[in-house]
């Protein structure tokens, strides 16, 4: 029964292996929408599954003040990682250089794990509120960056790193990637924030 309860951890690790060992990394270094599929798969699918599994394995037990500071720090780190790696110079460096690409992917995973862990693992009302606000902030900045990429009238990145994928031309591919970030990137955080808010309401009742 204990092993059955750990299925999210197994699913998250298997998904992470599939994302990193499959064709997406190669595609992500040549086109934008595969990059975004890889990015979102790591941060908003694999990371929360791994966190849920780890919480079932060993529930955290920290003083409430650590949750407030941790939620703020995790939010800032998540914002810096997401926006930083989409600055053209850093995005293109990750496309060109293996060490930069590895650092990019590891930082996506670290940001996702930290944010989901600090938000989902809180037990008191204060940590729940802090987690809900952190989820809301993450959804807002993901949606904002995605919309900016959708509305960009020209390629943001150098043409050799944005060749297009899935039959789309480079600009359409960039717009698809931005749309995926704005919608599929923001929605998991909205769902996480709604869950935390509902749990907070139950605690307050």
Residue 60 has pLDDT above 70, yes or no: no
pLDDT at position 137, please? 93
Q: What is the average per-residue pLDDT within 25-47?
A: 95
Q: Which helix (H) or strand (E) holds 177?
A: helix 170-180
Q: What is the average per-residue pLDDT within 21-29?
A: 94
CA distance linking residue 71 with residue 137, whole number of Å: 11
The pLDDT tens digits for 74-98 are: 999 999 999 999 999 999 999 999 9
Residue 115 has pLDDT above 70, yes or no: yes
The pLDDT tens digits for 120-132 are: 876 666 677 888 8
CA distance linking residue 46 with residue 40, whole number of Å: 9
CA distance linking residue 26 with residue 182, whole number of Å: 23
Residue 47: how many CB atoms within 10 A of its CB?
Answer: 25
Provide the terminal-to-terminal Cα distance of the chain, rounded to the nearest Å: 32
Residue 189 has pLDDT above 80, yes or no: yes
Q: What is the reported pTM?
A: 0.90
Q: Where are the beta strands (DSSP E) in the chain?
A: none
Maximum C-alpha span of the chain: 56
Residue 8: how many CB atoms within 10 A of its CB?
Answer: 18
pLDDT at position 202, please? 63
Q: What is the average per-residue pLDDT within 186-192?
A: 91
Question: What crossing angle do the helices spanning 187-204 and 98-120 adopt, rounded to 10°?
Answer: 20
> Mean pLDDT score of the chain, rounded to an integer?
88
- Joined together, the tokens standing for residue 3 give 């092993």
CA distance linking residue 141 with residue 179, whole number of Å: 13
Write down the residue that tokens 């060490």 correspond to: 99
Residue-wise DSSP of 72-107: HHHHHHHHHHHHHTTSHHHHHHHHH-HHHHHHHHHH
């Amino acid at each position: 029964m204990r092993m059955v309860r750990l299925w999210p951890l197994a699913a998250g690790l298997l998904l992470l292996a599939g994302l990193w060992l499959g064709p997406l990394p190669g595609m992500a270094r040549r086109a934008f929408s595969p990059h975004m599929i890889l990015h979102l798969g790591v941060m908003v699918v694999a990371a929360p599954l791994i966190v849920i599994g780890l919480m079932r394995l060993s529930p955290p037990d920290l003083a409430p003040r650590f949750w407030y500071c941790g939620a703020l720090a995790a939010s800032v780190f998540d914002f810096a990682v997401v926006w930083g790696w989409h600055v053209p110079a850093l995005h293109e460096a990750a496309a060109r250089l293996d060490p930069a690409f590895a650092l990019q992917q590891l930082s996506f995973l670290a940001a996702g794990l930290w944010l989901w862990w600090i938000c989902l693992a809180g037990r008191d009302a204060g940590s729940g509120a802090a987690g809900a606000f952190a989820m809301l902030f993450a959804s807002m900045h993901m949606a904002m960056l995605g919309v900016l990429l959708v509305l960009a009238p020209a390629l943001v990145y150098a043409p050799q790193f944005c060749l297009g994928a899935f039959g789309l031309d480079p600009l359409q591919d960039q717009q698809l990637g931005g749309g995926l970030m704005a919608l599929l990137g923001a929605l998991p955080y909205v769902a996480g924030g709604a869950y935390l808010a509902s749990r907070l309401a139950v605690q307050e009742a």
